[in-house]
A and B are shown apart, each in its own frame.
Chain A
Amino acid sequence: MFSKDLMEIRFHGRGGQGAVLSATLAAEVAFRMGYYPQAFPFFGAERRGAPVIAFLRYSSFPLMPRCRIYEPHCVVVFDPELPREALWEGLKREGGIMLVNADKNHPYWSQGINGGKLYTVDASRIAAGAGLISSGMPLVSSVMLGALVKVLGLAPFHVLEECFQGKIPKLQENVLVAAQGYQDVKEVEIEDEDANAGQ
């Protein structure tokens, strides 16, 4: 919107999934790569399981607006079953990136995105496989962060690993699943340009 190096990202998750923490950790990665970041949550109902939105802006210049992000370059979805319209809302058609925690064969997400790119990573399976579960809910944030850093081309993996130090419990497991997210994230072939009901 302001310059081609301003990046605006919106995170959608549920309370307890770590969407807010992910936005702040991604902000730190951006900082370490020489950008000025700004990460902030938008809370509706502050409770476990309720939809949560977080935002991240980063840019090579420090002066940025302080409004919420309505036309993101990238949307990160922690739970593919969240109400779908809200996820697609405002996503840029040109070069927009949708990154979803889903099996790449998830029928719901295989329809593509107008003019943009769809990436999936099966974060729930990866997190559960590493035993990262709380109250029956897979803790997907580290996997999603690994995948996000990769699809944005934001930083080499070790920068994310450094940002985890001292901020994440079960450090070893989280680094491991983040690396897996970084490796496994795949662009999904767009099958039907018009079938995307959310646009």
Chain B
Amino acid sequence: MNGNQAAALAVKLSRVQVVCAYPITPQTSLVENIAEMWATGTFPGEYISVESEYSALSYLVGAAYAGARTFTATSCQGLAYMHELLHWAGGARLPIVMVNVNRTLGAPWSLEPDQRDSLSQRDTGWIQLYCCDVQEIMDTVLLSFRLVEEAKIPCMVVYDGFSLSHTYEVVELPLQEQADLFLSPPPQEALFHPSRPQTIQPVTDYRYMARVIQAGHRAMLQVPAALEEINRSFAGIFGRDYPLAEKTGPENAETIFVAAGAVAQTVKSFLPLLDGGVEKNGLLRLRLFKPLPEEEIVSFLSRESIKSLVVIDRNLSMGTGGIFAQEIRALLQGTSFQGEIFELNLAGGIDLTLELLRKSMEKIGASPAGDEKIIWGVDL
């Protein structure tokens, strides 16, 4: 099955009560799959069609306030259109799970898997998890429901358009009994009812608001530990063990690539073919991006042997550089990390091939310190 089918099946296995979504390429087949399961009676939850992404998330904000287990999915302009509601769901700490299938934000129009859509929502108070294969998409959607309900923070499960959403590969299907063992049943009573009118989240003053924001931050900081515990429980039931961040390579690696999503798996498959092979090269795959698991990343990257980091961003903050690179720089500030940080930029959804990766390594070898640190994929 492909990534979108896997996500749809995970929604069914999670006994989601309300799905509300608006179709957009390359997410379309995900919602089509849920709609079809709903139409044929195999998905017992509600599937609500609306006229826009804005309405889709608005609907779920209401459903989540009422206590329902909720899901939506979108991509690129659709996610951007949800922006205001993303803040609302984040601020209200609503346990909503969303899939965002990465696609380049226009203008101009494009279908390639650039990550600026999800990364431009970094500060909306949502957890973000990036997947690198179809199995991981299925498993991550499933475990996100437990994460959002425990952390009371909404979660965005992110994967690349086409190179994951439309890629068919072999997937181990979880059983409904396993899913039921892993996830508690969804609530059966609505938290509010027309017969008991109440006001929620009225106008506040800055002191109260500041406390809400501070509490959100502190809750976010608890996410790595909570997710680690959930990963352990998931592994116990399903036999698949997911890290907060995937770390590959030898103890004395000299070059570490940092990447998220499909690109990370491509790099992993190429490591043996690069100069120095698996003896000198390693990979840090960012899985939990928001919040980054700081301790884990810093202890992996600040080893003495590491001479260079190559952060691969299929995204860009214009005028600054790759967004993952910014985050990694911030984390390594004040640590014992002695190496240089290079950026390989694939903004616009550039396809990472072995040739391109080799050329970027040559650039790194040739560049004296102090030069522009962005290696543009489009120039190679």
A and B: interacting chains: yes
Which A residues are closer than 8 A to B by beta carbons? 1-2, 23-24, 27, 31, 36-43, 46, 63-68, 70
Q: Of A2, A46, A66, which one neighbours B167 at CB under 8 angstroms?
A: A66
Task: Say yes or no: B168 contacts A65, CB within 8 Å.
Answer: no
> A-contacting residues of B (Cβ < 8 Å)?
2, 25, 111, 132, 160, 162-164, 166-170, 262-263, 265-266, 268-270, 273, 351-354
Q: Are B168 and A63 in contact (CB under 8 A)?
A: no
How far, in angstroms, from A40 to B113 measured CA to CA in the complex? 14
Complex Cα spacing A43 to B352, Å: 18
* CB neighbours of B132 from chain A (8 A): 66
Q: Quick check: A65 and B167 within 8 Å, CB to CB?
A: no
Q: Which chain B residues border A37 with CB–CB below 8 Å?
A: 168-170
Q: Are A40 and B352 in contact (CB under 8 A)?
A: no
Q: Are A68 and B351 in contact (CB under 8 A)?
A: yes
Q: Are B166 and A40 in contact (CB under 8 A)?
A: yes
- Determine if A24 and B168 form an interchain contact, defined as CB atoms under 8 angstroms apart: yes
4 smallest beta-carbon distances between A and B, as pairs: A40-B167, A66-B262, A65-B266, A39-B168
Q: How far does the Cβ of A23 sit from chain B's closest Cβ, in whole Å?
A: 8
Query: Are A65 and B265 CB-contacts (below 8 A) given A1-B354, A40-B162?
Result: yes
A2 CA to B170 CA, complexed, in Å? 20
- Give chain A nearest CB distance to B24 CB in angstroms: 13
Judge whether A41 and B166 touch: CB under 8 Å: yes
The answer on a CB contact under 8 Å between B269 and A65 is: yes
The answer to whether B111 and A65 have CB atoms under 8 Å apart is no
Q: Which residues of A contact B354 (CB under 8 A)?
A: 1, 65
Of B168, B262, B273, the residue contacting A2 (CB under 8 A) is B273
A27 touches which of B162, B168, B269 (Cβ 8 Å): B168
Separation of A64 and B168 alpha carbons in the complex (Å): 13
- Using A43-B162, A66-B263 as known contacts, say yes or no to A38 and B168 having CB atoms under 8 A apart: yes
Q: List 14 A-B contacts (CB under 8 A).
A: A2-B273, A23-B168, A37-B169, A38-B169, A39-B168, A40-B2, A40-B162, A41-B166, A43-B162, A65-B270, A66-B263, A67-B266, A68-B351, A70-B353
Beyond the given A27-B168, A37-B168, please list 17 additional residue pairs across the A-B interface where CB-CB is below 8 A: A31-B170, A37-B169, A37-B170, A38-B169, A40-B2, A41-B162, A42-B162, A43-B111, A63-B268, A63-B269, A65-B354, A66-B262, A66-B263, A66-B265, A66-B266, A67-B351, A67-B353
Q: Which residues of A contact B166 (CB under 8 A)?
A: 40-41
Q: How far is the CA of A43 from the CA of B168 in the complex (A)?
A: 15
A182–B280 Cα distance when bound, in Å, is 47
**Chain B nearest CB: distance from A43 CB in Å?**
7
Q: Which residues of A contact B160 (CB under 8 A)?
A: 66
- Contact indicator A63/B265 (Cβ below 8 Å): yes
In the bound complex, CA of A23 to CA of B167 (Å): 10
Docked-complex contact B269 and A38, CB < 8 angstroms: no
Cα separation A23 to B354 with both chains bound (whole Å) = 23
Cα of A114 to Cα of B115 in the assembled complex, Å: 41
Select one of B167, B263, B352 contacting A38, CB under 8 A: B167
**Given known contacts A2-B273, A65-B269, A66-B266, is B167 in contact with A36 (CB within 8 Å)?**
no
Q: Using Cβ atoms and an 8 Å threshold, which residues of chain B touch A46?
A: 25
- Closest chain A residue to B160, Cβ basis: A66
Q: How far is the CA of A110 from the CA of B370 in the complex (A)?
A: 57
A39 to B2, alpha carbons, bound, how many Å?
Answer: 9
Residues of B within 8 A of A31 (CB): 170
Residues of B within 8 A of A23 (CB): 168
Bound form: Cα–Cα A66–B270 in Å: 11
A65 CA to B271 CA, complexed, in Å: 11
With known contacts A38-B169, A40-B162, A65-B354, A2–B111 Cβ distance under 8 A: no
Bound Cα distance from A41 to B163, whole angstroms: 9
Chain B residues with CB under 8 A of A63: 265, 268-269
The distance from the CB of B13 to the nearest CB of chain A, in whole angstroms, is 21
Rounded to whole Å, the gap between the CB of A90 and the closest CB of chain B is: 11
* Complex CA–CA separation, A111 to B164 (angstroms): 38
Contact of B352 among A1, A27, A67 (CB under 8 A): A67
Q: When chains A and B are docked, how far (Å) is the Cα of A68 from the Cα of B266?
A: 11
Q: What chain A residues lie within 8 Å of B163 (beta carbons)? A: 40, 66-67
Chain A residues with CB below 8 A from B162, complex form: 40-43
The chain A residue with its CB closest to the CB of B26 is: A43
Q: Give the residues in chain A near B111, CB-CB below 8 Å.
A: 43
Give A38 to B269 CA distance when docked, in angstroms.
14
Cβ–Cβ contact A36 & B170, under 8 A:
yes
Q: How far is the CB of B27 from chain A (nearest CB, A)?
A: 14
With a cutoff of 8 Å between Cβ atoms, the chain B residues found around residue A66 in the complex are 132, 160, 163-164, 167, 262-263, 265-266
- Tell me how far the C-beta of B263 lies from the nearest C-beta in chain A, rounded to whole angstroms: 7
- Give the distance in Å from the alpha carbon of A27 to the alpha carbon of B171 in the complex: 13
B167→A39 contact, CB < 8 A: yes
Chain B neighbourhood of A24, CB < 8 A? 168
Q: How many angstroms between the C-alpha atoms of A148 and B239 in the bound complex? A: 36
CB distance from B104 to the nearest CB of A (A): 14
In whole Å, how far is A168's beta carbon from the nearest beta carbon of chain B?
Answer: 16
- For A64, give the chain B residue with the smallest CB separation: B269
Contact A36–B169 (Cβ < 8 Å): yes
The residue on A at minimum CB distance from B165 is A40
How close is B59's CB to chain A, nearest CB, in angstroms? 28
Complex CA–CA separation, A55 to B8 (angstroms)? 23
Q: Chain A residues with Cβ under 8 A from B269's Cβ?
A: 2, 63-65
